[in-house]
């Protein structure tokens, strides 16, 4: 069940950042997934061949430009400390 959630969450993120049409996920009986795209009320078209879960999520995440990740001030400060520590070790 959690594996399907991982795939459906990836598709949901794609829907939020997509402007092409409506993406949908199809789950096959053997546990593989494929993505369909519907444009302007036309019948859905398969975007690729069925894939295993990890390959499917990677494929979906690679479509469309992803939103930049948000970083808090604490995250930025921590990253600076890490870089500073790495520079001192070299």
- E-strand spans in the chain? 22-27, 33-38, 45-46
Q: What is the pLDDT of residues 72-85, one digit of tens each?
A: 899 889 989 999 88
CA separation (Å) from 21 to 9, 14, 17, 28, 52? 17, 11, 11, 22, 24
pTM: 0.68
Contacts for 7 with CB less than 8 Å, ≥ 6 apart: 25, 27, 33, 53, 56, 57, 60
How far apart are the C-alpha atoms of 57 and 30, rounded to whole Å?
Answer: 17
Q: What is the pLDDT of residues 61-71, one digit of tens each?
A: 998 777 667 88
pLDDT at residue number 24 = 93
How far apart are the C-alpha atoms of 35 and 44, rounded to whole Å?
Answer: 9
């Amino acid at each position: 069940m959690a594996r399907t959630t991982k795939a459906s969450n990836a598709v949901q993120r794609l829907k939020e950042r997509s402007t092409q049409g409506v993406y949908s996920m199809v789950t096959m009986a053997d546990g593989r997934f494929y993505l369909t795209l519907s444009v302007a009320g036309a019948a859905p078209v398969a975007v690729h061949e069925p894939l295993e879960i990890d390959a499917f999520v990677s494929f979906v995440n690679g479509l469309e430009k992803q939103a930049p990740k948000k970083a808090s001030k604490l995250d930025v400060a921590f990253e600076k400390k890490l870089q500073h520590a790495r520079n001192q070790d070299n």
